[in-house]
């Protein structure tokens, strides 16, 4: 089964051809990082215009590299949400037009579900139930996945996503965008015990995340210690490296500590760590250590599949297509599309879900 995946939810225009949901035949990613760098973050209006420019050449290249003719495709899978509305609409409209013109089956894929499916490549088959930590620029959640396609949110961030915290701290330190990779690089030369930040904990005891207080603590530390942000092209001072290491260490402890606590409670057969922040070496190492303690295998996507790509969308879409799911031409972009299809009995969790939408 050959499926074309299309992903345009944020600042990457991506297309991929995937065979039988597990083999990447081609994967093309056109990143807009350079376009948004000057603004220190993604500018939605610029992103959607760039997607419009790139969608045709990116899809053509994916088909060409795969040596696949349009007629050979068995289906089209497109990210329908969550994400930026103008960006999502480019992919969704294009996918619908292709499906209509070629009379091919179409499915909409939740971007977060796509991230979870990014581990089907380069890993042994996932055993269920799985516990999946999805940690990116827009999301920080733990999902209990009892079987493929069934999700229950067991932890969420109450404010910023972890990747967003990396990006904001990097901006405060004059390190540019995106922040994750540069903070990780500097942290390798820093002392993670130099600045003591507390692991954020919820007053109500729930296993949720919060990163905005940490961001404020970093900003306060910068102000009080008189640390000067790194000027363009300058070498970062040791204090900056120490701060990067201390910040990264507390984020990793928060993520892995919560994952471990929930793994002890739910005893999954597999741990999954996915999303852009899953590129982070310190997070991988701490997750591996936790997995050894728990006696459960942990799967990560290859680094190039951790950040946004269309292969993961095609993989998730293949499972849906094989289950007979079809989207109509009324498929629409859904900015706040949620990934939870298991009813939650827990009243406190239900209330917090209303307040903190996925
Ligand atoms: O999954 P992704 O490409 O886009 C979203 O769906 O958000 O994730 C991008 C995020 C950014 O916030 C970026 O700073 C973070 O992933 N990131 C990292 C690393 N590489 C990317 N965070 C920490 N360490 C990294 N090495
Ligand atoms: Zn993503």
Is any atom of ligand 1 closer than 6 Å to the C-beta of 275? yes
Do 134 and 97 reside in the same domain of the chain?
no
Kindly give the distance from the C-alpha atom of residue 104 to the centroid of ligand 1, in angstroms, as a whole number.
33
Is any atom of ligand 1 closer than 6 Å to the C-beta of 184? yes
Do 149 and 244 reside in the same domain of the chain?
yes
Is any atom of ligand 1 closer than 6 Å to the C-beta of 181? yes
SS3 letters across the chain: CEEEEEECCCCEEEEEEEECCCEEEEEEEEECHHHHHCCCCCCHHHHHHHHHHHHHHHHHHHHHHHCCCHHHCCEEEEEEECCCHHHHHHHHHHHHHHHHHHCCCEEEEEHHHHHHHHHHCCCCCCCCCEEEEEECCCCEEEEEECCCCCCEEEEEECCCCHHHHHHHHHHHCCCCCCHHHHHHHHHCCCCCCCCCCCCCCCCCCCCCECCHHHHHHHHHHHHHHCCCCCCCCCCCCHHHHHHHHHHHHHHHHHHHHHHHHHHHHHCCCEEEEECHHHHCHHHHHHHHHHHHHHCCCEECCCHHHHCCCCHHHHHHHHHHHHCCCCCCCCCCCCCCCCCCCCCCCCHHHHHHHHHCCC
Do 290 and 165 reside in the same domain of the chain?
yes
pLDDT digits (tens, 9 = 90+) for 280-330: 999 999 999 999 999 999 999 999 999 999 999 999 999 999 999 999 999
What is the per-residue pLDDT for 354? Answer: 40
Do 93 and 8 reside in the same domain of the chain?
yes
d(CA 304, CA 262): 28
pLDDT top residue among 185 and 342: 185
Domain boundary among 253, 285, 300: 300
- Name the closest-CA residue to atom 1, ligand 1: 276
d(CA 108, CA 79): 6
Task: Please report which confidence band the pLDDT of residue 356 belongs to, taking 50, 70 and 90 as the band edges.
Answer: very low
**Domains identified in the chain, total number:** 2
pLDDT digits (tens, 9 = 90+) for 223-259: 999 888 888 888 999 999 999 999 999 999 999 999 9
d(CA 14, CA 236): 34
Kindly give the distance from the C-alpha atom of residue 307 to the centroid of ligand 2, in angstroms, as a whole number.
6
Do 130 and 112 reside in the same domain of the chain?
no
Query: Half-sphere exposure of 310 toward its Cβ, with a 13 Å CA cutoff?
Result: 35
pLDDT top residue among 341 and 166: 166
Question: Are 84 and 38 contacting, i.e. CB atoms less than 8 angstroms apart?
Answer: no
Do 83 and 155 reside in the same domain of the chain?
no
Closest ligand 1 atom to residue 115 Cα is: 1
Closest ligand 1 atom to residue 164 Cα is: 12
What is the per-residue pLDDT for 43? Answer: 86
Please check whether residue 349 lies inside any domain of the structure.
Answer: no
What is the per-residue pLDDT for 344? Answer: 54
Mutate-to-test residue for ligand 1 from 136, 169, 278, 300, highest number of ligand atoms within 8 A of CB: 136
Question: Cβ atoms within 10 A of the Cβ of 156, count?
Answer: 22
Kindly give the distance from the C-alpha atom of residue 48 to the centroid of ligand 1, in angstroms, as a whole number.
20
Cα distances from 178 to residues 34, 174, 212, in angstroms, run 10, 11, 18
Please check whether residue 59 lies inside any domain of the structure.
Answer: yes
Residue 297 sits at the vertex; the CA angle it makes with 296 and 298, to the nearest 5 degrees, is 120
Please check whether residue 188 lies inside any domain of the structure.
Answer: yes
Is any atom of ligand 1 closer than 6 Å to the C-beta of 166? yes
Kindly give the distance from the C-alpha atom of residue 112 to the centroid of ligand 1, in angstroms, as a whole number.
13
What is the per-residue pLDDT for 237? Answer: 94
Domain range for residue 250?
Answer: 125-300
Which residues have CB under 8 Å from 316's CB, separation 6+? 77, 109, 110, 113, 114, 116, 117
In the predicted structure, residue 343 carries a pLDDT above the cut 70:
no
pLDDT digits (tens, 9 = 90+) for 134-165: 999 989 999 999 999 899 999 999 999 999 99
Please check whether residue 277 lies inside any domain of the structure.
Answer: yes
Please check whether residue 354 lies inside any domain of the structure.
Answer: no
Nearest to 178 by CA among 163, 190, 188: 163
Is any atom of ligand 1 closer than 6 Å to the C-beta of 7? no
Is any atom of ligand 1 closer than 6 Å to the C-beta of 211? no
Is any atom of ligand 1 closer than 6 Å to the C-beta of 236? no
Ligand nearest to the CA of 276: 1
pLDDT digits (tens, 9 = 90+) for 59-104: 999 999 999 999 999 999 999 999 999 999 999 999 999 999 999 9
Across the strands, what pairs with 134?
A: 141, 274
In the predicted structure, residue 350 carries a pLDDT above the cut 70:
no
Domain of residue 155, CATH code: 3.30.420.40
Do 239 and 276 reside in the same domain of the chain?
yes
Do 204 and 268 reside in the same domain of the chain?
yes
Closest ligand 1 atom to residue 9 Cα is: 6
Kindly give the distance from the C-alpha atom of residue 13 to the centroid of ligand 2, in angstroms, as a whole number.
12
How large is the greatest C-alpha to C-alpha distance in the chain, in angstroms? 63
Do 174 and 291 reside in the same domain of the chain?
yes
Closest ligand 1 atom to residue 281 Cα is: 26
Torsion of CA 213, 218, 224, 228, to 10 degrees: -150
Do 182 and 252 reside in the same domain of the chain?
yes
Please check whether residue 351 lies inside any domain of the structure.
Answer: no
Do 136 and 83 reside in the same domain of the chain?
no
Do 130 and 273 reside in the same domain of the chain?
yes
Give the chain's mean pLDDT.
93
Kindly give the distance from the C-alpha atom of residue 276 to the centroid of ligand 2, in angstroms, as a whole number.
6
Please check whether residue 88 lies inside any domain of the structure.
Answer: yes
Kindly give the distance from the C-alpha atom of residue 267 to the centroid of ligand 2, in angstroms, as a whole number.
26
For ion ligand 2, residues whose CB falls within 5 Å: 136, 308
Please check whether residue 227 lies inside any domain of the structure.
Answer: yes
């Amino acid at each position: 089964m050959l499926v074309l995946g299309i992903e345009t939810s944020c600042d990457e225009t991506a297309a991929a051809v995937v065979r039988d949901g597990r083999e990447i035949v081609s994967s093309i990613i056109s990143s807009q990082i350079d376009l948004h760098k000057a603004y220190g973050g993604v500018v939605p209006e610029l992103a959607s215009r760039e997607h419009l420019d790139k969608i045709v050449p990116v899809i053509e290249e994916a088909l060409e590299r795969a040596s696949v003719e349009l007629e050979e495709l068995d289906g089209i899978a497109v990210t329908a949400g969550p994400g930026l509305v103008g960006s999502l609409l480019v992919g969704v409209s294009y996918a619908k037009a292709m499906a209509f013109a070629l009379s091919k089956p179409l499915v909409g894929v939740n971007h977060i579900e796509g991230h979870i499916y990014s581990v089907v490549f380069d890993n042994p088959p996932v055993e269920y139930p799985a516990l999946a930590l999805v940690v990116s620029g827009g999301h920080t959640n733990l999902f209990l996945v009892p079987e493929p396609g069934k999700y229950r949110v067991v932890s969420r961030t109450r404010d910023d996503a972890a990747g967003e915290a990396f990006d904001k701290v990097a901006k405060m330190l004059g390190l540019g965008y995106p922040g994750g990779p540069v903070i990780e690089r500097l942290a390798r030369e820093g002392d993670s015990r130099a600045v003591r930040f507390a692991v954020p904990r919820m007053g109500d005891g729930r296993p949720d995340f919060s990163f905005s207080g940490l961001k404020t603590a970093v900003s306060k530390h910068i102000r009080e210690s008189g640390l000067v942000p790194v000027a363009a092209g300058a070498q970062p001072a040791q204090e900056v490296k120490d701060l990067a290491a201390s910040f990264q260490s507390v984020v990793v402890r928060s993520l892995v500590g919560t994952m471990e606590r929930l793994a002890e409670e739910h005893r999954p057969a597999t741990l999954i760590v996915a999303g852009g922040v899953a590129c982070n070496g310190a997070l991988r190492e701490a997750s591996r250590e936790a997995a050894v303690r728990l006696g459960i295998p942990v799967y990560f996507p290859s680094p190039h599949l951790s950040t946004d790509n269309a292969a993961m969308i095609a993989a998730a879409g293949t499972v849906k297509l094989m289950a007979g799911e079809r989207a109509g031409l009324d498929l629409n972009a859904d900015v706040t599309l949620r990934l939870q299809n298991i009813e939650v009995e827990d009243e406190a969790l239900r209330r917090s879900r209303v307040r903190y939408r996925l």
